[in-house]
Chains A and B, each alone.
Chain A
Amino acid sequence: QKEVEQDPGPLSVPEGAIVSLNCTYSNSAFQYFMWYRQYSRKGPELLMYTYSSGNKEDGRFTAQVDKSSKYISLFIRDSQPSDSATYLCAIGETSGSRLTFGEGTQLTVNP
């Protein structure tokens, strides 16, 4: 079993839709949760970073963490064609020195 599971998609939605991206993890030691966005032929860039259960909002993006269920989500409201990218979840341990990445979900927002 992978430590972090993420549906690779692809996911295709119309412009304006609400997008939900999800990851599950198996290790209770994971305490830090990040979402990265990766455009084609570019490096991943940090979108959201949180370490507590609950919601964190930044503009059209909301990161949600449920530690009891070992489940994290990223919601994108009013999705735009410019949101078309691969979204990667990344999770880290409290005392560790590495992040474990999900496979990434490829998202296409159609105008």
Chain B
Amino acid sequence: DTAVSQTPKYLVTQMGNDKSIKCEQNLGHDTMYWYKQDSKKFLKIMFSYNNKELIINETVPNRFSPKSPDKAHLNLHINSLELGDSAVYFCASSPTGGNSPLHFGNGTRLTVT
């Protein structure tokens, strides 16, 4: 059983389109995250939700909107995609916030053309 699963695995789309990435965790964790990894492998946090409540919202364009329908799911919707949005987006979860180790999904590789 996959602990943190993301869909789709690959996403190729044109500039200006709107797309969504879905994430589900079956670990019973309370906290979920979205991270962005650029081409240099640098992982940067975007958002964090604890039990459906937004607790971290980094300086991210407001074209990016997370949504957590329940504590096992965290989706990411991106409006008006730009070339610079091309990256790998990782969903992660942890049992609590703070400094609990993160469990990552295998990423969604987004390419904007």
Contacts and interface: CB of A to CB of B under 8 A. Distances in A.
Contacts of A32: 99
Interface string B30-71: 010000000011111100101000011000000000000000
Contacts of B43: 44, 88, 101, 104
Contact of A86 (B41, B99, B109): B41
Contacts of B50: 97
A43 B99 contact: no
Contacts, number: 62
B99 A99 contact: yes
A29 to B, nearest CB: 11
Interface residues of B, number: 25
B41 A103 contact: yes
A88 B41 contact: yes
Interface stretch (B14-22, B79-87, B100-108): B100-108
Interface residues of A, number: 28
B42 A96 contact: no
B28 to A, nearest CB: 17
A92 B99 contact: yes
Nearest to A46: B101
B4 interface: yes
A99 B42 contact: no
Contacts of B92: 43
B97 interface: yes
Nearest 6 interchain pairs by C-beta: A43-B104, A92-B99, A32-B99, A97-B97, A104-B41, A101-B43
Interface of B: 4, 31, 40-45, 48, 50, 55-56, 90, 92, 97-99, 101-107, 109
